[in-house]
């Protein structure tokens, strides 16, 4: 198994348990792995030439600014509240290290973190950055360099589309 874009590739119907992080254990398994549940959502993933380190995903969420801010803030805070924890899905154990990262000063609010997934001796580092502007939340996840290169473009596209 390898980490892709933002989260390890576990079949969507397989429950994921969080072990070793009380803040995340309180959230349901979808939110605990960074999946957001807002009324309106779109997601796209892109793979550049090169393999798993060249993947990036973009998510757009729309709701009231207050609900988006509260929801993403709760998830980011929970994910960085424990520097190390485990995700368990069936017989797969994924070691996760998470740390807050500096977010670019875009939009009204911003969040960013670096996540390292370790599975079977393989490590993947993922940057996840979220930008809230008005009532649209843009979340870009993937290789740190690609997230940095694509975040402002994703925000611009979201602002034009909305």
Strand-pair category, 84-89 with 3-4? unpaired
Digit-coded pLDDT (tens) for 18-67? 899 988 887 765 555 555 555 555 656 555 555 656 778 888 888 899 99
Domain count, the chain: 1
Question: What pLDDT is stored for residue 157 in this prediction?
Answer: 84
| Boundaries of domain holding 74 | 3-161
Question: What pLDDT is stored for residue 58 in this prediction?
Answer: 87
CB atoms within 10 A of CB 138: 25
Asked if residues 10 and 4 have their Cβ atoms less than 8 Å apart, the reply is no
Please indicate, yes or no, whether the overall pTM of this predicted structure exceeds 0.95: no
Closest CA to 58 of 162, 133, 157: 157
Residues 6+ apart with CB under 8 A from 145: none
The CATH number given to whatever domain includes residue 8 is 3.40.1000.70
């Amino acid at each position: 198994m390898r980490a892709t874009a933002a989260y390890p590739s576990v079949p969507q119907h397989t429950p994921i348990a969080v072990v070793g992080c009380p803040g995340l254990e309180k959230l349901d398994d979808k939110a605990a792995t960074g999946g957001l549940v807002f009324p309106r959502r779109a997601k796209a993933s892109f793979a550049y030439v090169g393999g798993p380190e060249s993947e990036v995903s973009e998510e757009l969420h729309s709701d009231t600014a207050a609900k988006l801010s509260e929801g993403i803030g709760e998830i980011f805070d929970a994910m960085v509240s424990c520097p190390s924890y485990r995700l368990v899905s069936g017989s797969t154990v994924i070691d996760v290290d998470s740390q807050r990262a500096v977010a670019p000063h875009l939009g009204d609010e911003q969040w960013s973190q670096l996540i390292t997934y370790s599975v079977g001796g393989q490590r993947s580092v993922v940057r996840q950055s979220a930008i809230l502007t008005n009532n649209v939340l843009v979340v870009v996840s993937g290789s740190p360099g690609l997230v940095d290169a694509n975040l402002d473009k994703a925000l611009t596209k979201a602002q034009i589309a909305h």
